[in-house]
Structure 1
């Protein structure tokens, strides 16, 4: 790892603070989850229009410790007290999966904008209710965003600009967390909290497949899982490999584990296009030129640590009459994109920095939506509903069953 890399990563987690504007949005955090640091606290330091104002947790002492450590000025005794604060504009919901539905609904009904950790809810039934709440269709409706942070990073835009969805025939995706990072008692492995690897890292894979194909899966062909069987851990997958059929017989595959090898391996998405004819006016009229493109994005989930976009194009020149291959060769190139400018992404007046994590790009988009400004990228409500339908499809095929629905009644 180079000195420049180390400096960039260090600055990503220890960014320079910026002066806050008078009209900055005030955020409240529901739950003292460690993930709140990545999702909001760190990127908020770099955003002039964001102030983390309050926190509430089930344990007041834990909330106070969190607030002291992170410089959050206000602590509430309950989630509802926080929602009742008229000074709060936006809510981050980093709770266990099973609580997302209830507190996203309550936040919306309190008139708050919601940054909602993925997966948005426990299953597609909850997603249909949440993302179709009447309050979301009213004038000046609250903004809700499922926090698929990697989709906001410039390298994802650069990757997708090299993908032609109509020509994609196969996609392979991979993600992992080492075994020592997530123990058996983690909420990821609690069935009652809607745990499981497909709900955890797997949602990243599934979203990548949907985006690359530009379509929804027609069938989950197979799901092979390693799963826990006892107590609250029952039916929680620790590892899975899933295969989906997309329109026109195309295949998308996803592998993810939360009990991976000791050494972390970067995520990847590998896309294979069908062979297509390309125009080449330098060729004699008796010949045709064809290309097969393979595009691989390494490190797509946490691009700040390391990423690389590889493009490999295999060419053939054939005789029109006989189909005989006259010539064949391969051309390869690679790209990195830490900033919006490097990826050709327009963030308006904002200049991104090389040390921005995907969470900072996500926060930029969220604030812009709340402020009524255009965004370079967004995850709309229907997208989040379709995402949960794919997760349900995989759990049904696996035999583990769809994650349980909350007892909270939204009606």
Structure 2
């Protein structure tokens, strides 16, 4: 218990480290998110140098609260500052495309909050910008922080995508955690539960099947129908078919029950025959596997991987069961050393959140060093195509495309 309390304390109060002379200087567009502030404290090569917001007083208060040296009058002022190397964009979804494109054209590296843009058309335009393919050109990363966490990497290593028959995912925000006037429920700002929490679910499906969905079979939504909230879903349940014949379910609600429960992803594998030389030729051993990652969105707070393996000895001729038993295992991985495998030597501390692991890889890519984990432009485009699939099937339609060129 003492170890857990100590870890959680450091999660929210990471130690500050001395900054190197060649540290990357970040500018933040908007004064709402803290997804960069905490992780930057424990990274010697990151300095949060400046912030800008539509309301300068809000930016000043944000800078004072988080120890940010410079406050700019406009987003453009950050892009025009030659001292700024990287831009973090946690703005409302509808502004992601415009300000990411502007940042790239200004020669800045971009850490872009997910979902990267409002729809697949914007994703195609953004991630195919010619500047991104130039030698030593800007780096862009969709900030899918969950994908950088050790428990997620371990979970995927336990699964052979070809064997996956079904995946079920769930994520939630309790009713008291949001209200109707939040940006999540403003259509013109590209709001909706699929865009907000649901994008985590859809990414999990794509990664666990290691493939793109062929079809969205269904997408049932609960959505607002009035004013700026019109066509904004606050809950959805979608089903997708994947190339190996498997199906994946995604369920998100942003009006969840009072008592919060962690997100989860459950994988049901196809039955497989297990070779066993101790059995007579007339019998076979069959394995059924079910694996669940609890808390896949914020693993540093709490997570657990449960593996249930159900064995059956049966007659090859009749298929009649002869013997059955179940073996259960559980894993946790707060560091890559605990996760093991090919990433076992990656740096990390038990208190590092997924955002901190993500920042480590982003800095490595900008500095020209090897990155062991990444979200590619093609990956981000495919992610938005899946979101579009769901919205088209729901009948709500795609989120609006920016007029910025």
Whether TM-score is above 0.5 comes out as yes
Q: CA deviation at 1:345?
A: 5.7
The answer to whether the Cα contact below 8 Å between 1:345 and 1:376 also exists between their aligned partners in 2 is: no
Partner of 2:340: 344
Q: What is the alpha-carbon distance in structure 2 between the residues aligned to residue 270 and residue 350 of structure 1? A: 26
Q: CA deviation at 1:287?
A: 2.6
Residue deviations 1:341-384 (CA, integer Å, cap 9, x gap): 00016669763111110100010111111111112211100000
Q: CA deviation at 1:209?
A: 0.3
Do the aligned partners of residues 347 and 292 (structure 1) sit closer, same or farther apart at CA in structure 2, a change above 3 Å counting? closer
Q: How does 1:233-244 map to 2 (within 5 A)?
A: 233-244=229-240
The answer to whether the Cα contact below 8 Å between 1:340 and 1:346 also exists between their aligned partners in 2 is: no
The answer to whether the Cα contact below 8 Å between 1:198 and 1:240 also exists between their aligned partners in 2 is: yes
Choose the corresponding residue for 1:309, options 305, 309, 324. 305
Q: What is the alpha-carbon distance in structure 1 between the residues aligned to residue 283 and residue 235 of structure 2? A: 49
The answer to whether the Cα contact below 8 Å between 2:17 and 2:42 also exists between their aligned partners in 1 is: yes
Partner of 1:398: 394
Q: Does 1:212 align with 2:208?
A: yes
Q: What is the alpha-carbon distance in structure 2 between the residues aligned to residue 112 and residue 375 of structure 1? A: 19
Partner of 2:283: 287
The answer to whether the Cα contact below 8 Å between 1:197 and 1:256 also exists between their aligned partners in 2 is: yes
Partner of 1:259: 255
Q: What is the alpha-carbon distance in structure 1 between the residues aligned to residue 136 and residue 297 of structure 2? A: 32
Q: CA deviation at 1:204?
A: 0.1
Q: Does 1:7 align with 2:6?
A: yes
Q: How does 1:70-219 map to 2 (within 5 A)?
A: 70-219=66-215
Choose the corresponding residue for 2:380, options 348, 370, 384. 384
When normalised by structure 1's length, the TM-score is: 0.96
Aligned Cα RMSD in Å? 1.3
Q: What is the alpha-carbon distance in structure 2 between the residues aligned to residue 247 and residue 170 of structure 1? A: 12
Structure 2, unmatched stretches of 5+, are none
Deviant stretches of 4+, over 4 Å: 345-350
Q: Alignment length, in residue pairs?
A: 405
Partner of 1:61: 57
The answer to whether the Cα contact below 8 Å between 2:103 and 2:110 also exists between their aligned partners in 1 is: yes
- Could you say what secondary structure the match of 1:249 adopts? coil
Do the aligned partners of residues 349 and 269 (structure 1) sit closer, same or farther apart at CA in structure 2, a change above 3 Å counting? closer
Partner of 1:22: 21
Do the aligned partners of residues 293 and 349 (structure 1) sit closer, same or farther apart at CA in structure 2, a change above 3 Å counting? closer
Do the aligned partners of residues 209 and 350 (structure 1) sit closer, same or farther apart at CA in structure 2, a change above 3 Å counting? closer
Q: Does 1:268 align with 2:283?
A: no
- Could you say what secondary structure the match of 1:330 adopts? strand
Partner of 2:357: 361
- Could you say what secondary structure the match of 1:111 adopts? coil
Partner of 1:329: 325
Q: What is the alpha-carbon distance in structure 2 between the residues aligned to residue 60 and residue 196 of structure 1? A: 28
Q: CA deviation at 1:304?
A: 1.2
The answer to whether the Cα contact below 8 Å between 2:336 and 2:344 also exists between their aligned partners in 1 is: no
Structure 1, unmatched stretches of 5+, are none
Q: What is the alpha-carbon distance in structure 2 between the residues aligned to residue 346 and residue 274 of structure 1? A: 26
When normalised by structure 2's length, the TM-score is: 0.98
Do the aligned partners of residues 320 and 350 (structure 1) sit closer, same or farther apart at CA in structure 2, a change above 3 Å counting? closer
The answer to whether the Cα contact below 8 Å between 1:245 and 1:251 also exists between their aligned partners in 2 is: yes
Residue deviations 1:160-189 (CA, integer Å, cap 9, x gap): 011110010110000001111111110000
The answer to whether the Cα contact below 8 Å between 1:273 and 1:294 also exists between their aligned partners in 2 is: yes
Q: What is the alpha-carbon distance in structure 2 between the residues aligned to residue 78 and residue 118 of structure 1? A: 22
- Could you say what secondary structure the match of 1:247 adopts? coil
